[in-house]
Amino acid sequence: MKQSAGRSTFRCDAIAPTLGRRHLLLALAALPLLARRARAEQGLKIGTLVDAQGHASAQAVVANGQSFPLRGYSAPPTADGRFDLYEGPAAPCQLCGMIHDAGANISVEAEAPADAAMTKMIEVTGRLAATAGEPPRLIAATASIA
């Protein structure tokens, strides 16, 4: 505040930001992605249970019969009530309708949550059924939106 001849006047000086507005907006836009990655890194991953051929990995065979939660993205359910849980969103390609490179997947023997979408992460808790040379399955007790 500056004093002059018995009157006070207020002057506001502009402060130049040290971080550009564009950089700040980009950083804020990336925060949800970091949170999603941190959530996905908690606990066991689908990719550690499935090998490159789609069979149960050595770690899955060791964990056979144990119960634990898995997080991933659901694919549309099959006629027998099962659905696949993918590492990434299993949304169909806009050109051909097929699912491309959604990462490893595991078959889940449970009903998907009613409000599940292929772009929403869900958490499934269940017992692992894994045999060497066979695709692993998760016999689920609960499935909910993560």
Average pLDDT, the chain: 77
What are phi and psi for residue 136, nearest 5 degrees? -75, 155
Note whether residue 61 is domain-resident: yes
Note whether residue 92 is domain-resident: yes
pLDDT of residue 43: 65
Note whether residue 30 is domain-resident: no
| pLDDT class of 38 with cuts at 50, 70, 90 | very low
- pLDDT tens for 93-141 read 778 877 777 778 888 888 777 777 777 888 888 898 888 888 888 887 6
For the chain, give the secondary structure using H, E and C: CEEECCEEECCCCCCCCCCCHHHHHHHHHHHHHHHHHHHHCCCCCHHHCECCCCCECHHHHHCCCCEEEEEEEECCCCCCCCEEEECCCCCCCCCCCCCCCCCCEEEEECCCCCCCCCCCEEEEEEEEECCECCCCEEEEEEEEEC
Note whether residue 100 is domain-resident: yes
Note whether residue 39 is domain-resident: no
Note whether residue 26 is domain-resident: no
Average pLDDT of 27-44? 62
13-17, 20-24, 37-41, 102-106: least confident range: 37-41
Q: Is the pLDDT of residue 8 over 70?
A: no
Q: Domain total for the chain?
A: 1
pLDDT of residue 6: 61
pLDDT of residue 4: 54
pLDDT of residue 34: 64
**Structural domain for 61, as ranges:** 44-145
Average pLDDT of 76-93? 79
pLDDT of residue 40: 47
pLDDT of residue 28: 75
The DSSP 8-state label assigned to residue 57 in this structure reads P
CATH of the domain at 67: 2.40.50.200
Note whether residue 63 is domain-resident: yes
Q: What angle do CA 44, 81, 108 make, to 5 degrees?
A: 10
Note whether residue 58 is domain-resident: yes
